[in-house]
Structures are given as structure tokens and as C-alpha cells.
Amino acid sequence: MTHQLIDPGKPVQNAYIESFNGRMRDEFLNMHWFLSVPQARLSLASWRRDDNAVRPHSSLGNLTPQEFVRQLAG
């Protein structure tokens, strides 16, 4: 597998990750103040669990990612 880099100044070449980065910045990084790296890691783990298991996503038909995967598998 080879890496495929996007051209500098062309974030639309990978719109999915750019959307995620913006949402993470708005919902997580701009809302928290970290005093240490361990605290930041703990806060990020909590946010990631919430994003993947608790919070519904409109792009998944208002299901959580875990519910969406279960629905695909079932």
C-alpha cells in the first residue's frame, strides 16, 4: 500500500477527513483546556467513545456508528 498525499492547499481532495477534523476541532479541541498530555488523552478517549457509541450521526440515518455497523451485519 502506498500513501497518496493531497496537494497543498487542496483539502477538498479528502473532504471526509477534512469534515471530521473540523467537527473534532469544533466539538472537542475548542471546548477543552488541557493541563497535561495524559489529561488530553483521557478527554479524547471519552469524546471518541461518545462519538462512536452514543451520539447519532445524520449521515448514518441518525444512528450511532455502532448501530449502523450492527444493522449492516444483521
Q: What is the pLDDT of residue 12?
A: 78
Residue with cell 481532495: 13
Residue 63 has phi, psi (to 5 degrees) of -110, 160
Question: What gap in Å lies between CA 17 and CA 28, rounded to an integer?
Answer: 15
Residue with cell 493541563: 35
In terms of pTM, does the model score above 0.85? no
Q: Average pLDDT, stretch 16-34?
A: 89
Residue with cell 467537527: 23
Q: Report the largest interatomic distance among the alpha carbons of the chain, rounded to a whole angstrom.
A: 43
Q: What is the pLDDT of residues 26-60, one digit of tens each?
A: 989 999 999 999 999 999 999 999 988 888 988 88
Q: What is the pLDDT of residues 57-68, one digit of tens each?
A: 888 899 998 899
Question: What gap in Å lies between CA 32 and CA 58, rounded to an integer?
Answer: 24
